[in-house]
């Protein structure tokens, strides 16, 4: 899921800080799962809480759209639904 968020141009426009988290980790080869977790946590801690919350709320809204149309949701579809 995070990989999709980082790779999506639409989400980058909405959540520019996500690319800011990706850059310190991009191109890095980690020696262990523990190192991945430590470096990821450090990168996440740099993101302001309000910005992280906005991103998380955006993901939830995306999930609701996807569920509402039984998985037939595509970026660019102007789907409206009651939350």
Q: Domain for residue 4, yes or no?
A: no
Q: Domain for residue 69, yes or no?
A: yes
| pLDDT beneath 70, residues of the chain | 1-21, 71-83
pLDDT confidence of residue 7: 44
Six token digits for residue 78: 């102007």
pLDDT confidence of residue 5: 45
Q: Domain for residue 52, yes or no?
A: yes
Q: Domain for residue 60, yes or no?
A: yes
Q: Domain for residue 79, yes or no?
A: no
Q: Domain for residue 64, yes or no?
A: yes
pTM exceeds cut of 0.75: no
Domain that holds residue 52: 47-74
pLDDT confidence of residue 33: 95
Q: Work out the angle between the directed axes of helices 33-46 and 16-25 (0-180°, nearest 10).
A: 140
pLDDT confidence of residue 23: 76
What phi and psi, each to the nearest 5 degrees, are found at residue 41? Answer: -65, -45
Domain count, the chain: 1
């Amino acid at each position: 899921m995070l990989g999709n968020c980082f790779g999506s141009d639409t989400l980058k426009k909405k959540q520019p800080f996500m690319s800011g988290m990706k850059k310190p980790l991009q191109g890095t080869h980690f020696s262990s799962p523990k190192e991945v977790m430590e470096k990821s946590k450090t990168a996440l801690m740099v993101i302001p809480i309000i910005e992280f919350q906005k991103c998380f709320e955006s993901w939830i809204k995306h999930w609701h759209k996807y569920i509402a149309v039984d998985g037939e949701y595509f970026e660019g579809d102007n789907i409206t639904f009651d939350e």
